[in-house]
Amino acid sequence: MAKAGTARTTRLERPKSLTELVKDHVRGRITNGELALGEALSENVLAAQLGISKTPVREALLQLKLEGLVDIQPQRGSFVFSLAPEEAAEMCQYRVILEAAALRDALQNDEAGLVDALEQNVKRMAKAVADGDMPAYRRLDTEYHRHILLRANNRFLTLAHQQLEMKIQALRASVTSKERTVGDSLAEHQNIVKLLRAKEKTKAMNLLGVHIRAASRDYQIILHEQARGRERRSG
């Protein structure tokens, strides 16, 4: 019970602005694969779909440009970001460096908690695969790697990883929407946990690198296919 004469304070959450709501909506459609890499984004179409004016749509796209998810080209318009295959390879190599460092620190900080969290995660991953629920699998894949980053307790590693995460989600959606490599991906996640449970930390770190590089190859294949498709359409 509050003491007499003291006022109880209640923190109210600031409601999101229309621009923030549009930004979240478009970002979600990019990261879940609904909007393809390189796809044109019409302010008029988005505004009509959402039943709003173009102003918050334009502002949202500008903010998504700062996040690296939207490319705004003068006289041409706005597009979902696109990557060359070699850019995807470089991004994934950077990710290997970040996540290897994060895994090392996470194991020092909270080994038992990390292993338990990853173990529960891969069980849900396996169920998602069995159910054919690829959106759930992609969300759990993102969550798996977040467990590692959060337990590293290093704000700079986390910030650097966040700059990649949304693009990785969009690339992952491009691959797993075709269910081409989900079985291999699940097995790699499971085997990393098994190695950590067996105290084989070095092997687990090595497998994490193998896993990310395998994903990189998948992304490069998809990006090559998309580039060839664009060439055929333009030709």
Give the C-alpha separation, 127 to 214, whole Å.
22
Residue 207, token pair as written in the block: 């497998």
The residues that bridge with 80 in the sheet, in sequence order, are 70
Which residues of the chain are in CATH 1.10.10.10 domains?
18-80
Q: Is 15 exposed, middle or buried (0-12, 13-18, 19+ CB in 10 A)?
A: exposed
Which residues of the chain are in CATH 1.20.120.530 domains?
85-234
Query: Would you place residue 179 in the very low, low, confident or very high pLDDT band (cuts 50, 70, 90)?
Result: very low
- Domain 85-234, architecture per CATH: Up-down Bundle (1.20)
Chain center to CA of 148: 14
List the strands of the sheet with 77-80, edge to edge. Answer: 40-41, 77-80, 70-73
Q: What is the pLDDT at residue 47?
A: 96
Is the pLDDT assigned to residue 8 strictly greater than 50? yes
What's the CA dihedral at 136, 139, 140, 146 to 10 degrees?
A: -170
Q: Report whether 146 contacts 98 (CB < 8 A).
A: no
Q: What is the pLDDT at residue 15?
A: 76
Chain segment 16-49, per-residue pLDDT in tens: 799 999 999 999 999 998 998 999 999 999 999 9
Q: Which residue has the higher pLDDT, 132 or 7?
A: 132
- Predicted TM-score of the model (pTM): 0.81
Is the pLDDT assigned to residue 176 strictly greater than 80? no
Q: What is the pLDDT at residue 59?
A: 97
Query: Would you place residue 227 in the very low, low, confident or very high pLDDT band (cuts 50, 70, 90)?
Result: confident
Chain segment 201-212, per-residue pLDDT in tens: 999 999 999 999
Q: What is the pLDDT at residue 112?
A: 97
Query: Would you place residue 7 in the very low, low, confident or very high pLDDT band (cuts 50, 70, 90)?
Result: low
Helix and strand numbers, DSSP H then E, in the chain: 8, 3
Chain segment 116-146, per-residue pLDDT in tens: 999 999 999 999 999 999 889 999 999 999 9
Compute how many other C-beta atoms are within 10 angstroms of the C-beta atom of residue 97. Answer: 13
Give the C-alpha separation, 143 to 171, whole Å.
16
Q: What is the pLDDT at residue 30?
A: 95
For helices 18-31 and 43-50, the axis angle rounded to 10 degrees is 110
CB within 8 A of 175, min separation 6: which ones? 181, 215, 218, 219, 222
Q: Which residue has the higher pLDDT, 10 or 167?
A: 167
Give the C-alpha separation, 5 to 68, whole Å.
51
Q: What is the pLDDT at residue 65?
A: 96
Class of domain 18-80: mainly alpha
